[in-house]
Amino acid sequence: MLPGLALLGWGLVELAAELGFNLGSQKVEGKIVATAYFTGYSKSKNAAFLVTPVVEYKIGDNSYQTKGKYYVTESEVKISTTLNVWYNPNDPTEARIDNFRTDYANVMPLAVIGLAEIGFIVMAFILIKLFWKPKTLPLEAKK
């Protein structure tokens, strides 16, 4: 039950952080200017590389860059593609890309798996309580 509570708590905390960022952020268009490779892959002819887009966005006269949180195959990232960028108006360097795998897609399973595990354990306790009848040994008759 403890792992279920931990997963549920972790998922809900991450989800709250993402929602909090999204509620206080502003949207601007950015353009993919490069790709960043996942550091665990070697560059060989036959390897499918995992990359994340590096997006440049402008706020006023200043340009900023951010990269995606999630890695995708090279074929999914096209240089010069326009994406939505959500940024913190108080700190424009803090930004997230909108179109490459939402944060919710990775956070929600944590909460769902944790909740399911808790549900299964509670259901097991209820079923045991309802249907388990301990065997009792017959008492010897008193003389």
Helix (H) or strand (E) holding 12: helix 2-24
pLDDT of residue 122: 85
Tell me: the pLDDT tens digits for 13-65? 776 666 666 677 888 899 999 888 766 555 555 555 677 889 999 999 999 99
In 60-129, the DSSP E strands lie at 62-67, 72-73, 82-88, 91-97
Quote the crossing angle between the two packed helices 103-131 and 2-24, to the nearest 10°: 150
Q: Does residue 113 have a pLDDT over 80?
A: no
Closest of 29, 3, 5 to residue 97, by C-alpha: 29
Dihedral sign for Cα atoms in the order 34, 38, 39, 43: negative
Over 80: is that where the pLDDT of 94 sits? yes
What does each C-alpha distance from 28 to 55, 73, 104, 116 come to in angstroms? 11, 25, 20, 38
Q: How large is the C-alpha radius of gyration of the chain?
A: 25
What are the tens digits of pLDDT across the range 56-70?
A: 999 999 999 988 776
pTM: 0.55
> Domain ranges in the chain?
2-123
pLDDT of 124 strictly over 70: yes
- Quote the mean pLDDT of the chain: 76
Average pLDDT over residues 110-115: 73
